[in-house]
């Protein structure tokens, strides 16, 4: 695959020999996170370092226990992808006094390097793209704007969907309150199906519905709901993640306007060299962003060939 | 032995005569609650009462309803199956994974085998090993969620070409899931009312020891209940995956709680021996209507949680009120 | 100790629109034993439950020490010193014997439950009752008679002012009955008022100072015991005359058919040691013994509930112990368990369902499909024969029947299945005098049709009135076998060890 | 009335003499399971048996353990409280929100009031209105989750300056949560064994009617149980929020299931009347050890789910085996 990420040109394989690197996952049950975790594991092991894994399952308290465990295990550095920015201080305090690389969610005060997406920006990119689509095709006219959310994801949810709303508004202007709906789809594909199905009913008569989704699963569910009601041509959506499950829709479904890609499958290539460098006391840039690329049918093959 | 779980702290209830009770059957009250909710929501949203929306409610409720039918049968016998949620997701994953390798027919066969295996393992653990049903199926819940994730590699698997089961509308514009839902409910109701097996489940729930001494094959019957639950999970899981065109190992999370809520709301007793399919059906529809109506009203999802909880309490409280009014307390 | 006087005035009570008590009066005076009699379903239990604050009457007054007590409930009743032993056990199976005895009034020192005192109290009262029950055992592990004793112990361990005993002796051995009576007399002499419900008329004459008979929810008779005869009592209860205690016509006469149950040298743990017995077609054999003599274990072995430790069993020509109740039933055995509530009844289910449950396979179309119509037919076959009284059998929960009527349904369950052989443990427990005769004739009729019936009983009169032959057990040993005219109350009690 | 939920389909079992049963108490088997797990994990990871790790296990288990103590008391009386998870999160949010407005003392007072209110509402619904405890507390679960979100505006609220409760180590380097855990367990054990209230709960669970007829104030006792559960939720919620320095309305999700699992694993019966705090403590520690040990072993989280389920089944199955071996079946 082609890398959509900047090459940090950092450490080569083998440089991590003798090091212990701990990784706190946001929750491997989330497809996006699973891709991140897999790549981090791959890169850590390729570097010759020992890999310590702990899944925080979207729960800050579990992340705290992970940090404590890593302290016991004497890890030399931590890659932390934990749900709650505001609990980060306590988690930092509970963990060992070692360098920390934060993934997607800031982990102050112990974060030395931030790697990954800027959720808000990524959201804006998606929203903007949808706005542009509506501007180009419908002169920014729409009957409803639906934001598919997962409140249980906390800040990530606010940033991603909030950013998408901002992005859309930056093109098509403020969304009138009576056209806007925030829907809790639970972050899952079946949650998206049910809640969007009901929402569609509430939008009887609407024929141009803009949808932004926190992730691919909920947009998949939403499209399935539209399909079931024979209204798939009335729904236009963007999602975030570009998980493999969305590839087919991105390429073939004109209503699936596109996805902000985060390239989760390359996160390890960024995070692992950073943590190794930090452990070795080398200086590294404080922010290593993945490129946020808006993927649609036109540029799909460029990134995922 | 003289124990009841969710019962009358106040024994007076037990003394209430059957007759006056039957004057207003439990299910009538639930039907009234459902009606009240429907009227309320139709004043709040012009779309609530449209045929399409009512169909929506039924479609959304169908997976829960299909699984709640054998769930009622099990609860009536004093048993639980909490593995249905992750079970349905697992079935979907098996289907999508199998289909990707060997095509749809093989996928379906694998899904059926998986579902019966789930029922089998639950049944063996409960009846042969004698492990508490709650612990067994909670353990199974974790196991199936994990296995589903492993099989799917943590990703959502696409399942193209298997849309009919979830979406086709062969008769009068009614989608297949609703037809299956209706069929399962009717069949289970008949089984519970008119077969020796169904009656045995009531007897087992009412008094497992007496049931055994009356010659009922209690273990076989409970085993059968778990197998039926596994079968329903296959049907529910396939419908879900067909509706979605994709299988996620995270799907249907919390389904087990919805099922238990619907069954108990429908009047089944945790202590076994009481409960009807009609009650469960009403319970499922009340929960479905609540979700749908609150979404139609465009209520913030946080307040939706609050409203769902309050209305659930109100529905059951209303039923208690009926008991007081009709009982000679 | 102060005495308590309770009076019920014009009490009426209805269940579901059916009035079961019609303006009933009752006086309970300190220092007196009042016997309360009546047929099954006459309203005895209902009446005393009102006295104990368990039921609220629909009309009338409860007068405590000349003051009307409008809101009597179990708690206030308890405070007044009212104690009741329920016909349907109300014990806590998951707790120990000692705790059941102190249930609701744990001995405390400084608010702390004293387990030592708790145990001591239990040991005290159990020794005084002369029973060997481990105070640390779980009540659920006890046999029905032992549970009855624990219930009695609970009421006696307390300083009651009014003690209500609702058929306390139904599951007791003679010896325990004697001790209970001794205790009751002692309490009476101390000024306690005792209300005593029984279906055993000789107990009335042995114990009661006064007797009150209920019939169909009305008071049929109230008189000092010395002023009435048995015959008057029975007539007041049943409204008709019933024949004398006698051996059944044709008992033990003639040759019976082939053996249906043949037990040889049966051993069960240390509870049964070397019992041998045969029951033939057309024969009613009673296995008579006191509580704990091992009789119940024999019945349980025949039904596959209990594993023997030695010996052989042959049922209807097939050798081998049944491995489970289903296996026993397949071989034709019907079993009426001693503990109706725990082992027999499905309390929350309907009367007809309770009656037909063992015959579903037979009644159902193709062994699979059944309707309540078929169950009603089954009920109709037995209701008049056994005199089962139920207002709405297809819908009424069996819990709402009187105790005796529940028992009849349990028996009918196996009669409906036409099981052969029948193993009946205490078949008339709690059944009234009139109905008992009906049940006996039904059993004799079955025998005459070729059934083999083994009746396990601790009631010698039952053995006398029902059996062709009696096998007597004592402490797990077979001590006597009586038949013909040797079956007399006297011989039986002597053989069973008093 | 003669009903049991998770009972012996096999009556023979009940006749087993209590004595032989008591020879190997249930808790001994659980202790053996815990020991076996500990030995297994210490062969798998050199870190398992370090004092720090054992403390970690205790710290992580403390919130569940604190809430499981009154949970045991309730289950022994045949009641449930499923609102504890969202309750703990809600308490945290109330604390953080109150603190932000009026400072820590007021925050704590508000949290306490909120917790007692939760207990009060649950208690009133169950004892006064007579609504099934499962439905009541499931409804409350939804309500509290929603209210917490509303109060927090869907955000996590920072709570600075309240770290000691969760983190300070006043004696022998043992953190406060562990001390509180120990205190709650000991007090609850004493209450259950040596107070009239505790014994009443057993009696109510074993036979609610008998308990009422014995003059026990059944409703008051159950009400007390729900209040205690509310109190434990306050303690647990405050510890959680202090450990994290922040309050998320999403915290502690699924806590109710962990609590129920621990309590039942500990030998309490869903049918009431049976269960001990020592058992629950062992149940909590077994679950805590499982989570910790599997993480130390570096196992993929999907396989962890599977392993957790399998080990849970094995633990209970092992207990069944004991019953067979010691029983004279
Ligand atoms: N909870 C109830 N609901 C409805 N009917 C009831 C209930 N309890 C008792 N009855 C009815 O009231 C009548 C009197 O019953 P009760 O138990 O007082 O009889 P009893 O005299 O004690 O009989 P037994 O000698 O058989 O114990 C019976 O017809 C019975 O069916
Ligand atoms: N005066 C009588 N008139 C008619 N029948 C009677 C009379 N006295 C006794 N009987 C009959 O004899 C039977 C036994 O009478 P008894 O008074 O000894 O009964 P019981 O002591 O209550 O019975 P048990 O002790 O065996 O339970 C009764 O069932 C009744 O049918
Ligand atoms: Mg009675
Ligand atoms: Mg007599």
pLDDT range class, residue D319, cuts 50, 70, 90: low
Predicted pLDDT of residue D329:
33
SS3 annotation, chain B = CCECCCCCCCCHHHHCCHHHHHHCCHHHHHHHHHHHHHHHHHHHCCCCCCHHHHHHHHHHHHHHHHHHHHHHHHHHCCCCCCCHHHHHHHHHHHHHHHHHHHCHHHHHHHHHHHHHHHHHHHHHHHHHCCCCHHHHHHHHHHHHHHHHHHHHCCCCEECCCCCHHHHCCCECCECHHHHHHHHHHHHHHHHHHHEHHHHHHHHHHHCHHHHHHCCCCHHHHHHHHHHHHHHHHHHHHHHHHHHHCEECCCCCCCHHHHHHHHHHHCCCCCCCCCCCHHHHHHHHHHHHHHHHHHHHCCCCHHHHHHHHHHHHHHHHHHHHHHHHHHCCC
pLDDT of C381 > 80? The answer is yes
pLDDT digits (tens, 9 = 90+) for C255-287: 678 899 999 999 998 889 889 999 999 899 999
Which of the given ranges, A116-130, A289-303, C408-422, D221-235, has the highest pLDDT on average?
Answer: D221-235
Alpha carbon of C121: minimum distance to chain B alpha carbons (Å): 24
CB-count exposure of residue C285 (10 Å: 0-12, 13-18, 19+): buried
CB spacing of B296 vs A198 below 8 angstroms = yes
How far apart are the C-alpha atoms of A137 and A153, rounded to whole Å?
33
pLDDT of D75 > 70? The answer is yes
Predicted pLDDT of residue A4:
39
> Hey, of A28, A87, A150, which one would you mutate to test binding to chain D, going by the most D CBs within 10 A of its CB?
A87
Phi, psi of D247 (to 5 degrees): -120, 120
Of C238, C269, C285, which residue is a domain's last?
Answer: C238
C276 and C193 housed in the same domain:
no
C264 and C223 housed in the same domain:
no
Alpha carbon of C268: minimum distance to chain D alpha carbons (Å): 12
Residue with tokens 């049903």: B133
pLDDT of D109 > 70? The answer is yes
> Which residue in the set C89, C346, C369 is minimally distant from B207, CB to CB?
C346
Please tell me the total count of domains within chain C. 2
Q: Length of chain D, please?
A: 329
C121 and C233 housed in the same domain:
yes
* Average pLDDT across chain D, whole number: 86
C319 and C229 housed in the same domain:
no
Domain ranges of chain D: 61-252
Predicted pLDDT of residue B4:
37
Instruction: Respond yes or no on whether the N-terminal peptide bond of residue A109 is cis (omega within 30° of 0).
Output: yes
pLDDT of C1 > 60? The answer is no
pLDDT of C97 > 50? The answer is yes
- State if residue C41 touches ligand 1 by the CB under 6 angstroms criterion: yes
Contact call for residues C426 and C458 (beta carbons, < 8 A): yes
Tell the residue nearest (CA) to atom 22 of ligand 1: C45
| For residues C474-492, average pLDDT | 85
Predicted pLDDT of residue C241:
65
Predicted pLDDT of residue D177:
93
pTM for the structure as a whole: 0.86
Chain centroid offset of residue C61 CA: 31
Predicted pLDDT of residue C254:
57
Of C238, C272, C287, which residue is a domain's last?
Answer: C238
> Which residue in the set A58, A65, A151 is minimally distant from D154, CB to CB?
A151
The SS3 of residue D310 is helix
pLDDT range class, residue C143, cuts 50, 70, 90: confident
CB-count exposure of residue C253 (10 Å: 0-12, 13-18, 19+): exposed
pLDDT of C339 > 90? The answer is no
Identify residues whose C-beta is under 5 A from ligand 3, the ion. C 45, 87, 403
Alpha carbon of D256: minimum distance to chain C alpha carbons (Å): 25
Task: Tell which one of C17, C51, C402, C438 to mutate to probe ligand 1, the residue whose CB is within 8 A of the most ligand atoms.
Answer: C402
pLDDT digits (tens, 9 = 90+) for C204-255: 999 999 999 998 889 989 999 999 988 888 888 877 666 656 777 666 665 6
The closest alpha carbon to A146, from A100, A206, A96, belongs to A206
Task: Tell which one of C38, C41, C220 to mutate to probe ligand 1, the residue whose CB is within 8 A of the most ligand atoms.
Answer: C41
Q: Which token pair is D322? A: 């004991």
Distance C200 CA to ligand 4 centre (A): 5
**Domain annotation covers residue C254:** no
Task: Tell which one of C383, C401, C410 to mutate to probe ligand 1, the residue whose CB is within 8 A of the most ligand atoms.
Answer: C401
**Domain annotation covers residue C245:** no
Distance C203 CA to ligand 4 centre (A): 7
Q: Which residues pair with A293 in a beta bridge?
A: A261
Distance C369 CA to ligand 2 centre (A): 44
How far apart are the C-alpha atoms of C87 and C73, rounded to whole Å?
18
Predicted pLDDT of residue D17:
41
The closest alpha carbon to A163, from A121, A220, A221, belongs to A121
Tell the residue nearest (CA) to atom 27 of ligand 2: C200
Tell the residue nearest (CA) to atom 30 of ligand 2: C433
How far apart are the C-alpha atoms of B101 and B98, rounded to whole Å?
5
Q: Which residue of chain D has the CA closest to C107? A: D196
How far apart are the C-alpha atoms of D177 and D183, rounded to whole Å?
10
The SS3 of residue C37 is strand
How far apart are the C-alpha atoms of C39 and C233, rounded to whole Å?
11
Which subunits count as partners of chain C given 3+ CB pairs below 8 Å?
A: B, D
Predicted pLDDT of residue D16:
38
Q: Which residue of chain A has the CA closest to B61? A: A194
Using N-to-C axis directions, what is the helix angle for B218-244 and B196-206, rounded to 10°?
A: 110
CB spacing of D3 vs B6 below 8 angstroms = no
Predicted pLDDT of residue D156:
87
Tell the residue nearest (CA) to atom 27 of ligand 1: C403
- Show the low-confidence residues of chain B (pLDDT under 50): 1-22, 327-329
How many helices, marked H, and strands, marked E, lie in chain D? Answer: 15, 2
CB-count exposure of residue C189 (10 Å: 0-12, 13-18, 19+): exposed
Strands C162-166 and C193-197: parallel
CB spacing of C55 vs B202 below 8 angstroms = no
Q: Is B3 an 8 Å CB contact of chain D?
A: yes
pLDDT of C332 > 80? The answer is yes
Predicted pLDDT of residue D52:
87
The closest alpha carbon to C322, from C299, C342, C339, belongs to C299
Predicted pLDDT of residue C12:
92
Predicted pLDDT of residue D150:
92
- State if residue C232 touches ligand 2 by the CB under 6 angstroms criterion: no
- State if residue C242 touches ligand 2 by the CB under 6 angstroms criterion: yes
Predicted pLDDT of residue A3:
37
Interface predicted TM-score (ipTM): 0.84
Q: Which is more confident, C368 or A174? A: A174
pLDDT of C369 > 70? The answer is yes
> Residue C317 maps to which CATH number?
3.40.50.300
Show the domain range for C416.
259-495
pLDDT of D21 > 60? The answer is no
How much of chain C, in percent, has pLDDT values that exceed 90? 32
Contact call for residues B118 and B87 (beta carbons, < 8 A): yes
> CA distances (Å), D30 to each of D34, D317, D324, in order?
6, 11, 16
Of C238, C269, C286, which residue is a domain's last?
Answer: C238
C334 and C446 housed in the same domain:
yes
> Which residue in the set B18, B212, B214 is minimally distant from C413, CB to CB?
B214
Predicted pLDDT of residue D14:
37
**Domain annotation covers residue C243:** no
Instruction: Respond yes or no on whether the N-terminal peptide bond of residue D124 is cis (omega within 30° of 0).
Output: no
Residues 210 through 239 of chain B touching chain A, CB cutoff 8 Å: none
Sign of CA dihedral B150, B156, B161, B162: positive
**Domain annotation covers residue C398:** yes
Residues of chain D found within 8 Å of residue A70, distances taken between Cβ atoms: none
Q: Is B313 an 8 Å CB contact of chain D?
A: yes
Alpha carbon of B60: minimum distance to chain A alpha carbons (Å): 6
Strands (E) located in A138-265: 144-149, 180-184, 209-213, 235-241, 256-261
Among left, alpha and beta (phi > 0; psi -120 to 50; other), residue C172 is beta
pLDDT range class, residue D323, cuts 50, 70, 90: low
Residues of chain B found within 8 Å of residue D260, distances taken between Cβ atoms: 134
| For residues D283-291, average pLDDT | 92
Q: How are the residues of chain C apportioned to helix, strand and coil, as percentages rounded to the nearest 5?
A: 35, 25, 35
Strands (E) located in C326-376: 334-336
- State if residue C429 touches ligand 2 by the CB under 6 angstroms criterion: no
CB spacing of D244 vs A85 below 8 angstroms = no
pLDDT digits (tens, 9 = 90+) for C54-72: 899 998 888 888 888 777 8
pLDDT digits (tens, 9 = 90+) for A179-202: 999 999 888 898 999 889 889 888
Contact call for residues C163 and C111 (beta carbons, < 8 A): no
C9 and C75 housed in the same domain:
yes
Ligand 1 nearest atom to the CA of residue C396, by list position: 4
Predicted pLDDT of residue B185:
96
The closest alpha carbon to A182, from D141, B302, B52, belongs to B302
Predicted pLDDT of residue A292:
84
The SS3 of residue C356 is helix
Predicted pLDDT of residue D1:
32
- Show the low-confidence residues of chain A (pLDDT under 50): 1-11
Phi, psi of C336 (to 5 degrees): -100, 110
């Amino acid at each position: 695959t082609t890398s959509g990420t900047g090459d940090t040109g950092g450490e080569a394989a083998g440089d991590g020999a003798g090091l212990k690197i701990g990784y706190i996952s946001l929750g491997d049950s989330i497809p996006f996170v699973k891709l991140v975790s897999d790549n981090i594991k791959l890169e850590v092991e390729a570097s010759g370092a020992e890999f310590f894994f702990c899944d925080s399952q979207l729960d800050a308290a579990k992340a705290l226990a992970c940090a404590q465990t890593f302290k016991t295990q004497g890890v030399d550095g931590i890659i932390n992808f934990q749900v709650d920015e505001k609990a980060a201080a306590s988690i930092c305090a509970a963990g060992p006094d070692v360098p920390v690389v934060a993934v997607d969610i800031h982990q102050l005060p112990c974060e030395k390097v931030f790697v990954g997406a800027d959720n808000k920006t990524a959201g804006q990119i998606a929203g903007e793209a949808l706005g542009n689509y509506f501007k180009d095709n419908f002169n920014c006219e729409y009957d409803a704007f639906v934001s598919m959310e997962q409140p249980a994801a906390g800040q990530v949810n606010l940033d991603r969907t909030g950013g998408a709303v901002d992005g859309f508004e930056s093109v098509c202007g403020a969304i009138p309150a009576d056209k806007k709906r925030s829907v809790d789809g639970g972050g899952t594909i079946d949650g998206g199906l049910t809640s969007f199905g009901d929402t569609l009913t509430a939008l009887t008569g609407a024929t141009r519905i803009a949808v932004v989704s926190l992730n691919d699963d909920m947009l998949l569910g939403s499209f399935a709901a539209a399909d079931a009601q024979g209204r798939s041509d009335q729904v236009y959506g963007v999602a975030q993640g570009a998980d493999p499950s969305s590839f087919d829709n991105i390429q073939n479904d004109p209503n699936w306007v596109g996805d902000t890609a985060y390239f989760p499958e390359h996160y390890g290539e960024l995070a692992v060299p950073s943590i190794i460098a930090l452990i070795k006391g080398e200086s590294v840039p404080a922010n290593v962003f993945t490129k946020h690329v808006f993927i649609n049918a036109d540029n799909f093959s460029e990134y995922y060939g | 032995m003289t124990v009841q779980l969710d019962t009358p702290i106040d024994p007076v209830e037990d003394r209430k005569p059957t007759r006056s009770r039957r004057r207003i059957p439990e299910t009538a009250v639930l039907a009234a609650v459902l009606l009240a909710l429907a009227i309320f929501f139709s004043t709040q949203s012009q779309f609530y009462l449209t045929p399409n929306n009512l169909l929506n409610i039924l479609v959304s409720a169908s997976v829960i309803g299909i699984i709640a039918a054998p769930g009622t049968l099990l609860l009536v016998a004093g048993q639980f199956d909490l593995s249905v949620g992750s079970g349905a997701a697992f079935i979907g994953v098996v289907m999508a994974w199998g289909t990707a390798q060997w095509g749809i027919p093989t996928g379906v066969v694998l899904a059926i085998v998986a579902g019966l295996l789930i029922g089998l393992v639950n049944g063996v653990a409960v009846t042969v090993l004698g492990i508490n049903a709650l612990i067994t199926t909670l353990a199974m819940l974790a196991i199936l969620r994990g296995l589903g994730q492993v099989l799917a590699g943590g990703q959502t698997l696409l399942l193209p070409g298997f849309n009919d089961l979830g979406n086709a509308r062969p008769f009068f514009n009614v989608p297949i899931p609703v037809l299956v839902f209706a069929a399962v409910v009717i069949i289970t109701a008949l089984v519970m009312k008119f077969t020796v097996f169904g009656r045995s489940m009531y007897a087992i729930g009412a008094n497992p020891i007496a049931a055994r001494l009356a010659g009922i094959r209690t273990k076989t019957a409970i085993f059968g209940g778990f197998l039926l639950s596994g079968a329903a999970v296959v049907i529910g899981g396939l419908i879900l995956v067909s509706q979605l065109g994709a299988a996620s190992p995270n799907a249907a999370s919390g389904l087990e709680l919805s099922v238990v809520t619907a069954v108990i709301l429908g009047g089944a007793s945790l202590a076994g021996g009481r409960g009807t399919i009609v009650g469960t059906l009403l319970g499922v529809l009340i929960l479905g209507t609540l979700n749908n109506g609150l979404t139609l009203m465009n209520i913030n999802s946080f307040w939706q949680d609050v409203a769902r909880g309050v209305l659930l309490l109100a529905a059951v409280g209303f039923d208690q009120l009926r008991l007081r009014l009709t009982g000679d307390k | 100790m102060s005495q308590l006087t309770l009076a019920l005035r014009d009490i009426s009570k209805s269940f579901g629109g059916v009035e079961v008590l019609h303006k009933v009066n009752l006086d309970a005076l300190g220092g007196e034993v009042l016997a309360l009699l009546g047929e099954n379903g006459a309203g005895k239990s209902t009446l005393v439950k009102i006295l104990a604050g368990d039921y609220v009457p629909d009309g009338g007054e409860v007068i405590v020490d000349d003051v009307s007590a409008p809101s009597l409930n179990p708690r206030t009743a308890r405070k007044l010193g009212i104690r009741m032993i329920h016909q349907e056990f109300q014990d806590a199976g998951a707790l120990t014997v000692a705790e059941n005895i102190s249930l609701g009034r744990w001995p405390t020192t400084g608010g702390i439950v004293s387990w030592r005192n708790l145990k001591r109290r239990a040991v005290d009262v159990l020794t005084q009752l002369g029973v060997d029950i481990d105070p640390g055992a779980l009540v659920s592990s006890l046999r029905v008679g032992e549970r009855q004793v624990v219930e009695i112990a609970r009421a006696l361990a307390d300083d009651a002012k009014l003690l209500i005993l609702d058929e306390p002796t139904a599951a007791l051995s003679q010896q325990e009955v004697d001790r209970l009576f001794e205790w009751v007399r002692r309490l009476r002499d101390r000024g306690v008022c005792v209300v005593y419900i029984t279906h055993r008329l000789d107990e009335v004459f042995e114990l009661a100072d006064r007797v009150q008979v209920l019939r169909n929810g009305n008071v049929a008779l109230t008189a000092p015991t010395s002023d009435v005869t048995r015959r008057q009592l029975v007539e007041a209860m049943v409204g008709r005359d019933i024949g004398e205690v006698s051996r059944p016509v044709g008992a033990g006469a003639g040759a019976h058919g082939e053996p249906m149950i043949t037990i040889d040298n049966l051993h069960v743990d240390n509870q049964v040691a070397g019992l041998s017995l045969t029951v033939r077609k057309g024969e009613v054999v009673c296995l008579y013994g006191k509580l704990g003599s091992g009789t119940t274990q024999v019945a349980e072995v025949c039904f596959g509930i209990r594993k023997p430790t030695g010996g052989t069993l042959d049922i209807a020509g097939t050798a081998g112990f049944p491995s489970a109740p289903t296996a026993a039933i397949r071989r034709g055995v019907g079993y009426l368990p001693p503990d109706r509530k725990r082992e027999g009844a499905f309390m929350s289910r309907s009367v007809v369902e309770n009656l037909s449950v063992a015959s579903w396979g037979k009644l159902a179309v193709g062994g699979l499909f059944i309707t309540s119509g078929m169950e009603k037919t089954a009920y109709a076959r037995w209701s008049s024969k056994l005199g089962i009284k139920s207002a709405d059998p297809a819908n009424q929960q069996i819990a709402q029947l009187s105790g005796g009527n529940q028992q009849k349904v349990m028996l009918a369950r196996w009669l409906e299945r036409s099981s052969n052989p029948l193993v009946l443990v205490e078949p008339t427990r709690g059944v009234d005098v009139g109905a008992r005769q009906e049940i006996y004739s039904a059993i004799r009729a079955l025998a005459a049709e070729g059934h083999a019936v083994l009746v396990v009983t601790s009631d010698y009169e039952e053995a006398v009135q029902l059996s062709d032959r009696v096998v007597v057990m004592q402490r797990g040993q077979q001590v006597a076998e009586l038949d013909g005219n040797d079956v007399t109350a006297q011989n039986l009690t002597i053989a069973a060890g008093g």
